Amino acid sequence: MGTEKIGTCYIQHIKAITLSEEKGAATSTLNQAINSLKFYYGTMLKKKFVYEVKRPRKDKKLPIVLSQEEVAKILTLVDNVKHKAILMFVYSAGLRVSEVVRLKPEDIDSKRMLIHVRGAKGRKDRYTLLSESALKILKEYLDRYKPALWLFPGPGKERHISIRTAQRIFEMACNRGGVKKKVTIHSLRRSFATHLLENGIDLRYIQELLGHVSSKTTEIYTHVSNKDLMRIKNPLDQILQKEGGRKEGYPTLSPIPPIFKKRRHSRL
């Protein structure tokens, strides 16, 4: 089969994906296919790729965050000091799971109360916050386990704990805490950013702590923060307060007009 015929077959495949996308399939699949074809035609065939398939718009989904009470409940129910330290660091420092598992003991600056995150996303280093509560748990963990190469080593000690293990630790803690939200360990990082924003921290500082290159990435947390929403008075509550309400909290109902009352029919 010739290279151009392969491209033609792939275009037909994309059109089939388009039909499935209309039925609820992920839009990212179609975008990946189009990008692959552009690379194939441009790099391999040295031709301009002209396609009749419309790129679907990306889904604009808001991140799911935990409340401060939910975070506290999750952390409290973790008995293993190593597991608790991992989850505390993810939340209190806004770390990615790939960052927390690769921490080394020398990355912890207890004098300046900072954590040095090395080779983060985009191969960039940054500093983030070191919580006093997390440091207290960390000291307890260091006294007990005395890690050398990695702050949170795996079973072999020469390698760090795996990302999947850290995720599993979080899942078990959520199950114990009865958390019903569809969250992952990354939700702790998102909750950290949202809670900072709700506490009045400037978005620019949050961007630096999270290591976001673009401020637009950080701005998504303004849509899940309830800082301003809490100031809005719900109209239902206003109605109940004006009407006086009953003991149950429902508004007082006016008497039923006579026209709606059940009529008694006289016997013939």
Catalytic residues: 96, 121, 186, 189, 212, 221
Report how far residue 225's alpha carbon sits from residue 212's, in angstroms, rounded to the nearest whole number: 18
> CA 109 to CA 114: how far, in whole Å?
5
Handedness of CA 79, 99, 66, 233 (dihedral sign): positive
Query: What does the alpha-carbon distance between residue 180 and residue 111 come to, in Å, rounded to a whole number?
Result: 39
At 116 the three-state DSSP class reads strand
Report residue 253 as tokens.
């109902």
SS3 at position 255: coil
Residue 214, both tokens: 């673009």
Please report the beta strands in 107-245, taking only residues with DSSP state E, as ranges in sequence order.
Answer: 108-109, 114-117, 126-129
Q: How far is CA 13 from CA 1, 10, 40, 52, in A?
A: 16, 5, 15, 13
Residues 6 or more apart whose CB falls under 8 angstroms from that of 248 comprise none
- Is-contact 138 31, C-beta < 8 A? no
Could you give the CA distance from residue 250 to residue 170 in angstroms, rounded to a whole number?
Answer: 41
> How far is the C-alpha of 131 from the C-alpha of 207, rounded, in Å?
18
